[in-house]
Structure formats: structure tokens, C-alpha cells
Amino acid sequence: MKANPLRAGVERGELQVGTWVNMLRNPAAMTLFKEAGLDFVRLDMEHSSPSIETVADFAVMGRALDLPVMVRPPEANREWITRLLDVGVYNIHCPQVDTPEHAAEIVAASRYTPRGSRGMGAATPGNDFDVSMPVMDRLKFTNDQVFITVMFESAQAFENLDEIASMDGIDALTLGPQDLAQDLGVFGTPDQDRVIDEKRTQIVEAANKYGKTCAMLVNSAEQARQWRDAGVLLVNYSSEANVLLDGYRSALSDIRG
């Protein structure tokens, strides 16, 4: 069975840089992302349209290339977590985690016994069709590869920050800047950047306090360096759609003068 390169990189203390994938549907794009030097890609099923079949194809290609795929499901529930793990996704980016109860449900759904109650499957892409290892050893190995990131996107979530951050089985913490700004009533106001940066700092401090990884969405190299220097190890730079837009707009502006 394949190990999880993203988890291994984080455990070595190495910066992992990825990007959102919102529009591309051909898993051959993974070879391009690999050549570009990305450490992971994050597929968005909450605000984009890939099917579970498309995600499964990306996951298998990612495992073949040792380029980890992370997925944000439409909802962080047992149904989606089970399906994503079984098609070969080790890294799940869980949206709208507001309560310790929800976080505990995520942990239980994502780990086999004795750490959780993940549904048992047979030979699947999630174990590379390799069931040769003694069963309890296989379950432990699989549990150790799973990497769960939770998103704090509301004031309620931050009221429960310590309890969620300290939970065994929650591996990384992050926030959803726009949904959080909306919930806090600062979206589109002059205070938005300041307030969200204060919340980002709270996330970093909680991650450091409880020995968890911190993930951050950034839209510039400057912002990436800022949070890298603050101790963030998972940096998600922009998206493939935005990179394409920026590249074509810049080129066309130069061409048309």
C-alpha cells in the first residue's frame, strides 16, 4: 500500500505548496502539476462540479505519481468521507466544522477501529488493492496515512477552537476567509483583512499549542512567505482557474499593448 507523501512531508517539517483545482477535469493534468513542482492539489467539490468518478481518477493518478490529492467534499459527513477514502483520497479538507461533536464525527468516520468506526471495505483504490498485510496491521497503516484538515468558518467555530484543535484525529486547522468574514459581519468592509488576519493568527497559535499543522489559502507569493514564516506548513496558492486567468490577461495585455 502507498503511504501519504503529504503527511510525511508535514511530519518532516517541510513546507507543502498546493493549489485549488476548480475547473480541470482531466486527471492527466496531474502530470503538469507534478512538473510545475507542486506538492499537492486540492479538488473542490463544495463550490465546483467534479463527480466522484472524476475525483477517483485524480486520486489514482495522484497515488501513481506520489502527488497527493486533497478533497473538500460538499459536506464533511460519513457518506462523503467514506467514499473519498475508499476511492484513494487520503487527505480530506472538511468545511463548516463548527462544533466538537461534528469534529468527533469526522474523526470516527475517517479512522478504522480502534481509533474510529470507518466502514470496512475490501480491496479498493483506498488500499491500492493490496490486502496482503495482516488485517489489523493494514487498518493501523491506513489510519496513520489519513490526514484531516478542518475549516473554521463561523464565530461559533472559534468559540470551540481549543476543543476541536486538541482532538486526536484532527491533523490540521484552517479557516474559510470569505465565509468567516460573512458570518462575522465584516465581509466587504475596510475591517475585513484585519479581522481575518487576527483569526488566522488564532489558528496558527492553536495549531502550535496542540501540535497540529496549520493550512492557509494565499493569493500571492508575499502572502505565502508571510504565513510560511509564521509556521504554516500547508500553503494553498490560488487556483488553476485564477492562474490561467492571470496568465492570459497579462499576456494579452502585452500583445495588444
Q: Name all domains of the chain by residue range, CATH numbers in brackets.
A: 5-256 (3.20.20.60)
Reading the chain (257 residues) residue by residue, the pLDDT tens digits are: 999 999 999 999 999 999 999 999 999 999 999 999 999 999 999 999 999 999 999 999 999 999 999 999 999 999 999 999 999 999 999 999 999 999 999 999 999 999 999 999 899 999 999 999 999 999 999 999 999 999 999 999 999 999 999 999 999 999 999 999 999 999 999 999 999 999 999 999 999 999 999 999 999 999 999 999 999 999 999 999 999 999 999 999 999 98
CA distance 148 to 43: 14
CA distances from residue 221 to 35, 123, 228 in whole angstroms, order as listed: 19, 42, 10
Backbone angles phi, psi at 174, to 5 degrees: -155, 180
Torsion sign over Cα 182, 103, 14, 58: negative
pLDDT in tens, 184-216: 999 999 999 999 999 999 999 999 999 999 999
The bridge status of strand 172-175 relative to strand 16-21 is unpaired
Start-to-end Cα distance in the chain? 54
Q: What is the pLDDT of residue 143?
A: 98
CA distances from residue 180 to 25, 47, 134, 186, 246 in whole angstroms, order as listed: 29, 16, 44, 9, 26
User: Considering all CA atoms of the chain, what is the largest pairwise distance in Å, rounded to the nearest integer?
Assistant: 65
pLDDT in tens, 117-132: 999 989 999 999 999 9
Whole-structure pTM value: 0.97
